[in-house]
Amino acid sequence: MNNYQEMAAAAAETVRVVRGVRDDQLKDPSPCHDWDVRTLLNHIILWTAYSAEQRAYGKSVAEELMNKDFAAEPGFADDYAAQVDKALTAWSDPKAWERELGVMGNAMPAADVAAMLIMEIVLHGWDLAQATGQEYHCPGNVAAVLLTTVQQQAGMFRQYQGFADEVKISADAPAFDRALALSGRDPR
């Protein structure tokens, strides 16, 4: 299944949040482990822009980018937006969604990798919004894809300490809130 529209919507919202980060917030704490805003930004930029583009082509992100401090660059938000555009262009090709990609030594359908990219974009976009006092808006179609992906991947992400324990919320809460809670984030 091709969730390009959801990927584009999620990316646009996270780009908006990245653009809203002020330089004086880079050392502030974030909801992610022991990461400050700078570390979270660097993670977002690397994985939701550079790696996202490379994944569409069946490649891995270049090793030299792994430890780059993107947030130290003047205009990092504009650079991020430009790189996200490149990633979205790569994923706009329907063939990008049809191939098998190597993930941790295993073959995985590209559509599943794309769903995890959407999850990464939204969850860390929300984390960044929380850390910097911004709102994060997640449309219903994006929230539905997110919830399905979090339900499928929560066990694995907890195993590798990518998610905290589930936060208990009402079963009839909106899909976005349920996805946040299942990923160990408190939507309240």
128 inside domain: yes
pLDDT in tens, the chain (188 residues): 799 999 999 999 999 999 999 999 999 999 998 899 999 999 999 999 999 999 999 888 888 899 999 999 999 999 999 999 999 999 999 999 998 887 777 888 999 999 999 999 999 999 999 999 999 999 999 999 999 999 998 888 888 888 888 999 999 999 999 999 999 999 98
> What per-residue confidence (pLDDT) applies to 101?
85
What pLDDT shows up at residue 108?
87
- Which CATH number characterizes residue 131's domain? 1.20.120.450
Q: Is 107 left (phi over 0), alpha (psi -120 to 50) or beta?
A: beta
State how many domains the chain has.
1
Look at residue 129 and tell me if it is in a domain. Answer: yes
Which alpha helices (H) appear in 105-166, and where do they start and end? 110-131, 140-159
Domain-embedded: residue 48:
yes
Cα→Cα distances 150→7, 92, 93, Å: 15, 23, 25
Whole-angstrom Cα distance, residue 34 to residue 77?
Answer: 23
Count of Cβ atoms closer than 10 Å to residue 136 Cβ? 18
Q: Identify whether the C-beta of residue 2 lies closer than 8 Å to the C-beta of residue 113.
A: no
Tokens representing 45?
């930029």
Measure CA 144 to chain center: 15
In the chain the first and final C-alpha atoms are separated, in Å, by: 32
Assign 3-state DSSP to the chain and report helix, strand, coil percentages, each to 5: 60, 5, 35
Could you tell me if residue 69 is inside a domain? yes
Specify if 125 maps to a domain.
yes
Dihedral sign, Cα of residue 178, residue 130, residue 139, residue 102: negative
In a domain, 187, yes or no: no
d(CA 60, CA 154): 23
Residue 100 contacts residue 107 (beta carbons within 8 Å): yes
Q: Is residue 165 part of a domain?
A: yes
What range defines the domain where residue 70 resides?
A: 4-182
Beta bridge partners of 106: 103
User: Does 62 fall in a domain?
Assistant: yes
